[in-house]
Amino acid sequence: MKKYPGFKQAQPIWPIGIETEKNIHVGFRAVFSVVEKTASVTLHLTGSTIYRVFLNGKFIQHGPARGPHGYFRVDELDLSGRLVAGVNLLAIEAVGYNCNSFAYLNQMSFLQAELTVDGEVAAATGGAGFDTLRLSDRIQKVERYSFQRPYIEAYALTPGWDAWRTAVDFRAESVACAVSEKKKLLSRGVAVSDFQTLETLSVISSGTVSYREKPVDRSVYWWMSDPRYENLGSFLPEQFERDLLQVWQACDCTGGDGGRWEILDLGSNRSGFVRLSIQCVEPVRVIAAFDELLINDDIDLSRNTSLNFVYYELQPGEYALESVEPYTFRYLKILLLDGEAEIKAAGIREYVNPEAEYRLESGDPDLVKLFEAGRQTFRQNAVDIYMDCPGRERAGWLCDSFFTGRAEELLCGSSKIERNFLENYLLPESFGDVPQGMLPMCYPSEHLGGRHIPQWVMWLVLELEEYLERTGDRDMIDRFEPKVAGILGYLEGFENSDGMLEKLPSWNFIEWSKANQLTEDVNYPTNMLYARMLESAARLYGRDELAGKAALIHETVRQQSFNGTFFVDNSVRDENGVLKPSGECTEVCQYYAFFCGTATPDEFSSLWNILLEQFGPNRRAGGEYDFVYPANAFIGYYLRMDLLSRFGEGRRLIDEMKRYFIGMTDRTGTLWERDDERSSCNHGFASFICVLIARHVADAM
């Protein structure tokens, strides 16, 4: 852990009385002078959720890197070389969400910032130099963007709305602020995106739109009717200032005289901030909708259950607009409602990992294409932590991280993001409602009700062992020992008389397939993983008794689960309490067996050969083993690919990857969460294919 040494004068502040108010934007501005533009000027800052920094009206940075409960990571920005001689304007736009999400922690809003010029403090929050403004342009009470992320961005703007951050002579009364308690500070720890801007490549379709209000239909978004919705702490529909889903559903793009629309193409998936340059002749409403792919040649917001749009109400004038939140999209659909306006430019400011620069050298164009898709997937999902996806959630999930960690070492030549990711899990003493000994399934996130995935902490222990091999960071491993002991103690409480884990609580996750429905009572993939985890813990901490326990679990699984041909997924207790195999078999269960060491190709050669020849991502229906439920991308086919690599099937691996992934890369340029389009099409764990391709590139020749 690299602590930040501390601010000289700055204190954490926020306007008085709204520290816990939802969906608030606050501006902090400092006017300062330098004799020469070569002066040494540094800005140190951190905050509760997100902010963006401007210098003389130009975008500088989005931050901070996310930290765990009770800790905040500090950005250190060298502004030297970006100054003008004379008067300069520094502006910071900070957001306070104060709701539960998977993307950010729900904590009281604050900003702490300090500007130094040639080593002397020129402005400090809680002291002199900064004016504070409550920004009222954002429409506050609106729907969430998704179950996992805070609110849709919605704005009502007039010309000059951004003068507070662009005009030195802007005048407004500074609001009074309260100072909050002292914060525990950490260094950022990871590189900063270079924030390159890209414009859309082409307009691929356009037309007119009719606008007819009708009752809103929330049924297509599962989370709007989920009992947990109220636990999210967001605004309820009766509180909305604008019902933006109703506005979206009122737009009929098959024709009409209510405005016009066009769909633009970036060429491939990109992640970052939506940018629009627009000239409004009349008052106009603008919807900038986006997605990773098109369904029936259009944006379908129900595809990934996220409200993928930014909404603007604009008075006549010229606007350069940019979202404050990062999103993921290939296609951008702009709807102009009510009035006349001209779209002058559209695109994205990328928010990506700048260090993922490794390139594949190969004469095979398909492999180069697949590798680049994996690299793009990584760089968009590993900015400050490992994320599952940079769109729907932006959440730091365990298990996903196991695979992404392998990719970072190759693509970046380091494990900086992984260190931050693991440190976030390490530092808190507890995690709210999550049971003692258990860890959150994703983090930094809020988990009201204590919902967790028991299997994901097992993947964490496996990741710790590989992290040690990658980095030699023994200190991190030693500091994790109490948490690993807590995991072991928690899981031990669910062992039955056979030593098998039984009736694990909460959300049991094996993979996105039938396997997730076969977790009742004793689940064998879980116990295979449990044994593998015990082996890792034994090696990490010199506990031989855990290795012995793992061997017994492997043997018990073989005795109870293997039916002579396949491993059965689970055993269920009958009315007399007797444990009996369910008879249900999934493809992924077989992969768990070999991945975790319950089976080996030598000892189970018949099953191994069946898996090689009859199964895999390109398996067709109608075969001899149709009764074995197929696997999916997350995580079954990635386990398979790892096994093919491990056991000398490089040629087969390359062939399968080409057939399975080329269709994905052609459509989005990134790799998907599942093998269908109705989920994330940019999932961080999938970047592991870069490691496999680099390892077996010679097998393609």
Report, in angstroms and rounded to the nearest whole number, the Rg of the chain calculated over CA atoms: 26
Confidence (pLDDT) at 231:
84
- Residue 605 CB burial class (10 angstroms; 0-12, 13-18, ≥19): exposed
Model confidence at 37, in pLDDT bands (50, 70, 90)? Answer: confident
Distance CA 309, CA 285 (A): 13
pLDDT tens digits, residue range 142-188? 999 999 999 999 999 999 999 999 999 999 999 999 999 999 999 99
| Least trusted range by pLDDT, from 220-229, 308-317, 377-386, 459-468 | 220-229
Please say if the pLDDT value at position 620 is more than 90.
no
Model confidence at 72, in pLDDT bands (50, 70, 90)? Answer: very high
Please say if the pLDDT value at position 1 is more than 80.
no
| Least trusted range by pLDDT, from 217-226, 481-490, 684-693 | 217-226
Structure tokens at 358: 């490794």
Please say if the pLDDT value at position 427 is more than 90.
yes
Give the bridge partners for 31, in sequence order.
89
Average pLDDT over residues 548-556: 99
Superfamily per CATH, domain 13-139+156-187: Galactose-binding domain-like (2.60.120.260)
pLDDT tens digits, residue range 295-342? 999 999 999 999 999 999 999 999 999 999 999 999 999 999 999 999
CATH 1.50.10.10 fits 365-696, yes or no: yes
Distance CA 296, CA 301 (A): 12
For 91, 115, 116, 557, the CA distances from 119, given in Å and listed in that order, are 20, 9, 6, 64
Contact 455, 399 (CB under 8 A): yes
Contacts of residue 412, Cβ cutoff 8 Å, sequence gap at least 6: 353, 355, 356, 357, 358
Confidence (pLDDT) at 250:
97
Q: Which residue has the tokens 């002058």?
A: 344
Distance CA 267, CA 199 (A): 10
In this structure, what are the phi and psi dihedrals at residue 207, rounded to the nearest 5 degrees? 175, -170
Distance CA 484, CA 480 (A): 6
Beta strands 24-34; 131-135: pairing state:
antiparallel
Please say if the pLDDT value at position 701 is more than 80.
no
Q: At what angle do helices 605-614 and 587-596 cross, to 10 degrees?
A: 130
Contacts of residue 600, Cβ cutoff 8 Å, sequence gap at least 6: 594
Phi-psi group of 173: left, alpha or beta (phi > 0 → left; psi -120 to 50 → alpha; rest → beta): beta
DSSP three-state, residue 377: helix
Q: What is the pTM of this model?
A: 0.98
Sequence spans of domains, the chain = 13-139+156-187, 197-212+250-350, 365-696
Please say if the pLDDT value at position 429 is more than 90.
yes
Q: Which amino acid does the sequence have at 276?
A: L
Please say if the pLDDT value at position 38 is more than 90.
no
Mean pLDDT (the chain) is: 97
Confidence (pLDDT) at 448:
83
Structure tokens at 616: 């895999």
The DSSP secondary-structure symbol of 175 reads: P
Model confidence at 90, in pLDDT bands (50, 70, 90)? Answer: very high
Q: Which amino acid does the sequence have at 361?
A: E
The three-state DSSP-derived secondary structure of 18-41 is: CCCCCCEEEEEEEEEEECCCCCCE
Confidence (pLDDT) at 178:
98
| Least trusted range by pLDDT, from 122-131, 256-265, 267-276, 391-400 | 256-265
Beta strands 58-63; 50-55: pairing state:
antiparallel
Distance CA 189, CA 67 (A): 10
Model confidence at 642, in pLDDT bands (50, 70, 90)? Answer: very high
Confidence (pLDDT) at 99:
97
Confidence (pLDDT) at 137:
98
Residue 545: count other Cβ atoms within 10 Å of its Cβ.
9
Q: At what angle do helices 638-646 and 650-668 cross, to 10 degrees?
A: 150
Give the bridge partners for 114, in sequence order.
44, 124
Average pLDDT over residues 368-393: 99
Average pLDDT over residues 369-396: 99
pLDDT tens digits, residue range 587-601? 999 999 999 999 999
Confidence (pLDDT) at 229:
85
Model confidence at 515, in pLDDT bands (50, 70, 90)? Answer: very high
Confidence (pLDDT) at 494:
99
Angle at the Cα of 381 from the Cα atoms of 300 and 650, rounded to 5 degrees: 100
For 38, 608, 628, the CA distances from 622, given in Å and listed in that order, are 72, 20, 11
| Least trusted range by pLDDT, from 13-27, 82-96, 425-439, 610-624 | 610-624
Confidence (pLDDT) at 227:
84
CATH level 3 topology of 197-212+250-350: Jelly Rolls (2.60.120)
- Say yes or no: do domains 13-139+156-187 and 365-696 share a fold: no
